[in-house]
Amino acid sequence: MNTLFKTVTSLHGPALRAANDAGTNLQKADRIFVNDLVFEANIGVYEDEKKHSQKLTASVEVLVSTSAQDYQGDDIKDVMSYEDIVDAVKQVKEEGHIHLLEHFAEQVAALCLENPKALQVTIQLTKENIFGCGEQAGVSITRTKSIR
């Protein structure tokens, strides 16, 4: 999966333009991530899916702008934290039943991009064993902050 994240989240196109337009020094951009966050959520379009929660796994990576001053104070308030990512997933999960993984991922992405330091977010969200064969099926999205 790390190869997937490196491929999907490499800074290009709109992300590169947005970062350049914002005057972001990409040599001072970091990636924070949470991999394989497992949780139960009420999700699905079929009636049998609406009767019980389902096991989901999320991996989220955020490209953040940073400066040397962010780390000198050694203070969590100066950076975007992986706790912010987990909180975004929990917030969407607690909003009630969602039909599509794509919508769930979009909501998490929007919350992550609200952080002023966030430039881009990639989310991989999977359901487990939905066809009864032990497989994973899901969606991966990448969203870039629109900077005007």
Q: What is the pLDDT of residue 73?
A: 75
CA angle 24, 18, 120 (to 5 degrees): 90
The tokens describing 116, both together, are 């002023």
Class of domain 2-144: alpha beta
Q: What is the residue extent of each domain of the chain?
A: 2-144
- The band of 1, judged by pLDDT with boundaries at 50, 70 and 90, is very low
Higher pLDDT, 72 or 116: 116
Reply yes or no on whether the pLDDT at 69 is more than 70. no
pTM for the model stands at 0.79
Which residues are CB-contacts of 98 (< 8 A; sequence separation ≥ 6)? 41, 42, 43, 92, 104, 107
